[in-house]
Every structure is written in C-alpha cells, then in structure tokens.
Chain A
C-alpha cells in the first residue's frame, strides 16, 4: 500500500508547485501508515533524491522524451501501470492543467473515485472523506470516496505542510510508453509573466484604472511583488488588457495567497473567480464598493496616489530583508 504523487515538469525541471503536492501526499501516507512515492514522467535534470525533503521515500522516474506531450490516453495508461506495480491506494495530483487532462481518465480506467480540487487532508477515521470547494468557492462539500483506489487533485495554496527533511531513493522505471495519436503543432509559452493560476500573488485592475495607459503603476506594483497580473471582465472586454488576464466566473479562476484588487467594484461574477484567495486587499475610492465586504484589508482612496506608495513600501521591505 502506498500513496503515489504525480510531480510536474516544465522544460526538464521539477515545478516548484509540485513540492506542496508531494508534502500533501506524504502527509496522507503518514496518516495511513504507508509510504509516499513520487512519479516523475519525462526527462528531468534535477536531483530527484531531494524530494525526500517533502516526505517522499521513493521517486520513480520514467525517462522518456515522448512524455513531453501530455496525451491523456498515454498518461492514464502509464500511470495506471505504475499504480498497479507499486500497489498504490491513493494517487495525488496538483489541480493544474495536467491533472485536468489526465486524472478523470485515470479515474474511469481504474474505477477509482476522484475528488477534484481538494482543499484539506482527508478524514480517514471512518471511510475516506475529503473536503473540496463547490459553488465557485461559495461553499465546501465533503465527498466520500467509495472505492479501494482513490484519486485526489489538490487545490493550489490550500494546504500548507512543512518539509520533513530526508533523502529519497530514486528508481528508473522501464514501462513501455504507448504511441500518441496526436501531433503537437506548436506550443506558446506565456513569456516573461508569472502564469496566473500558479502565482502566489496576483495584482488585478478594474475600470477604476481609467484606461490602459495607466497600467504602469499596476505593473510596477506587480513587479515589486513578483506577482501575476489580472483584470476584471469589463477591462478584458474593452481590450485594455489581454483576454487571458480576465479573472472571474467565466475567465480564469485563481487561488493565490494574496490578491490585490485595484479599482474593481467586486461584482459577484468577479468574486467567483477570486474568492479562494487566502488574503484579499481592495483599493477603491468608493467606500460602498461591494468588494470591501469580501476583503481582508482595504484602503478607501485614490489608487493613483496609493499604489505607487505601496510599491515603494514593498521595495523598502525587500531592501531590509
């Protein structure tokens, strides 16, 4: 019996976001009195034994360059083989685009119950139940997984578990990788920006920014915070900012540790995309803006005066560190 954690690679390196997923999977393994194994699919030049720091006792690597294309059919087949050879009873993914492509098919293939977007450790005292967000962050559901093998995708920034220290044993796997039926014509990376769904901090602007020519102060703040940048729907629709920055019910849903809303009133559709953020800061000159009700911190004032001073204060804080 073991917990199998799927690590994510980007350009041949482990993604930092995998660390918290491994820590989470390892915590489940400790809870069940079993071992945590990590599965790395593809070519990776990092020291995989270092994943022991996050509680993994073993890292399996399938060093096959064709796995750079994430084909759900191929991935589900390969992961299903590893689940059966390692006797894994729980499979853990980060809830990211890879998991969204692969975990559902794996669930159907193995007949293993899946909880997508878990936000807490499971309760294993009586069966196996786990909490996830529903209604776009407006509620939680506790879901019982009824099958022997369980699959969980973990919502980013939802569970924090401290590293436990240790060195993992690394084992190369020789599993045959089926051929893919798809051809990748091109990949376009979001250049130089922090991808929104992975950002720890997000700075977002609304109509209160008054026009695209004023975005400089927002970008400066984002740069000081090493933050991703986002916008409200009206801003995206008016082409002040690119569409992929639109966060909200019908845009991107994010759950950063810190969300800055500059000149956004906080319509319910916008909140549905950001209310899973840990800390929300709202800056708006209208004290009646509904967003203040959902915020943790706020400043009622002119963002054109406030934001540059925030940027300066953050730079000062970094300089002191």
Chain B
C-alpha cells in the first residue's frame, strides 16, 4: 500500500492577521507557522496509524510552496512518513496545486491520499475533490473514520444532517476531520530520524490558474458589546427582537 498525505503550512491560530503591499499579500511578520491542524492531527496521524499496523506501507508527504515549507515537512516527517516531496511553486490557486499533485500521483501510483478537510487560512477545502477528479480516484469528503478492507476502504463521513458509512474501491482521496485520529507530539527519536529522510524538490509543469486573489481586507471592527444588566435579562430579548431583529 502506498499512501500520500497532503499538508499545508498555515499561521498559528493565535497569529495576528494583517496584510501588506496594498492589502494584496498576507503580512508574515512575526507569524508562527504550523502544519495545518486538519492535515496534521487527522490526515497525517491516521496515515501513520495505518503504517504502524501494516509496516510494509510506504508513506509519502507532500506540500506545495517554496523552501520556507521545508521546516514544516521535516516536522511532519518527525511524526512519521518515509519521504517528503515539496512541489516548488508560488501558486495559491487550488486547481494549479491539485494538478501538480495529480502529476505526482501518476508517477507514484498512490492508492490512498489523505488531506485535511480545509486549510485554516484559505478556508477552501477543495484540493482533495479536485485531485480526485484529476487523478482519477474516489473522493470521500469530511471523513471521520476510515478502515481498510480487502476490496477498498470503509469510511464514515459527514453528510447533510448526519453521517454516512460507505465502502469504496481504491484509489481514493479522503478529506479528514475530527474523529479520524488523535493529535500526537513528535518524540526525540522521530525528530532525529527526520533529518536524514529524503525531501525531494519537484519542479512542476506550468498550469494555468482558474482563480487569483485580488485583495484582502479585515472585517469592520465590532461596534462594541452592548451590556444588559443581569437584573433585567428580559431587556436582552427585547433588544434581540426589536434592534438586532434576529428573534
């Protein structure tokens, strides 16, 4: 079994969000970078669990971006995985990156590909679905559980108003969310071992983007909280009904 885990680098949740260059670029000053939590806690850890159970599994990691991603890939390798690939691109277009990943999939013939359900900076959640179409592979979105079976995999996923458990053949792309696995912390042996694991830099073929980001903006600051006295909570309901008009 050959598995690929797609990871992205995102600002830590507590980072200050600001923009530069006339609000066309994210301001990276003093930003603490992390592996996107959905990619790390759910996608990567589930893949590692599968490898621990079936040691012959080959586990590859991939990320798309410049050399600044290498630290994140090494951290992911410290948790687990055999080799990492960095697709050398500055594109932010999901389709472009999906096309680059599809090229890697064609070359490596992965049977299972994991992504997180979305990156916490772009909030897109579209990469896995695009990759599944291009590879091609089955796509299971918003998965909360996955088990391998003799003829494919059994996955539980979120649907409108509930959950669905399904079986599908491989290859499959699985987008992972809470429930899939539990967060792990790399140990010293993993960190030392990760230093010598291969990290390949791939120069991708040119792909025309389908979208581009024109500008960023910050939301208008909140007007400030309107406090209601604890002695008159009924006043709050009146305000929600008459002023905010949400009741």
Contact = CB atoms under 8 A, between A and B. Distances in A.
Contacts of A109: 133
Given A142-B215, A294-B222, A114 B230 contact: no
A292 B162 CA distance: 32
B37 A317 contact: no
Those 9 A-B pairs whose CB atoms lie nearest each other, nearest first: A301-B230, A104-B129, A113-B210, A104-B126, A108-B133, A182-B168, A105-B133, A189-B162, A313-B237
B158 interface: yes
B246 A298 contact: no
B13 interface: yes
Contacts of B223: 296
A269 interface: yes
Interface stretch (A37-45, A54-62, A84-92, A244-252): A244-252
Q: Chain B: interface secondary structure? A: mixed
B73 to A, nearest CB: 22
B13 A268 contact: yes
Interface of A: 8, 10, 15, 69-70, 72-73, 76, 96-98, 100-109, 111-117, 129, 132-147, 181-190, 195, 198, 201, 225, 243, 246, 249-251, 257-258, 268-269, 272, 278-279, 281-282, 292-302, 305-306, 309-310, 313-314, 317
Contact of B154 (A8, A185, A257, A306): A185
A281 B236 contact: yes
Most chain A beta-carbon contacts within 10 A, residue among B17, B211, B223, B247:
B211
B27 to A, nearest CB: 11
Contacts of B187: none
Given A96-B160, A296-B222, A310 B237 contact: yes
B123 A101 contact: no
Interface string B1-29: 00000000001011001010000000000
Interface size class of chain B, counting residues whose CB lies under 8 Å from the partner chain: 35 or more
Given A104-B98, A144-B211, A195-B160, 17 more contacts: A97-B158, A98-B159, A104-B128, A104-B130, A106-B133, A107-B130, A111-B95, A114-B126, A116-B125, A117-B124, A135-B11, A144-B213, A195-B161, A250-B37, A292-B227, A294-B222, A296-B222
A96 B160 CA distance: 7
A302 B231 CA distance: 10
B170 to A, nearest CB: 10
A296 B129 CA distance: 37
Question: Which of A138, A183, A295 gathers the greatest number of chain B CB atoms within 10 Å?
Answer: A138
Contacts of A293: 222, 225
Contacts of B167: 182-183, 185
Contact of A185 (B134, B165, B236, B244): B165
Contact of B216 (A104, A140, A188, A246): A140
Given A108-B95, A108-B134, A145 B216 contact: no
Contacts of A281: 236, 240
Interface in B66-106: 94-95, 98
Given A129-B214, A134-B216, A298-B228, A258 B237 contact: no
B233 A310 contact: yes
Interface of B: 11, 13-14, 17, 19, 37-38, 41, 94-95, 98, 117, 120-134, 136, 138-139, 141-142, 154, 157-169, 175, 178-179, 209-219, 222-223, 225-230, 233-234, 236-241, 244, 246-247
B241 A279 contact: no
B123 A8 contact: no
Nearest to A183: B167
15 contacts: A100-B129, A103-B126, A104-B127, A113-B210, A114-B210, A135-B121, A143-B213, A185-B166, A189-B161, A279-B240, A294-B222, A301-B233, A306-B230, A310-B233, A313-B233
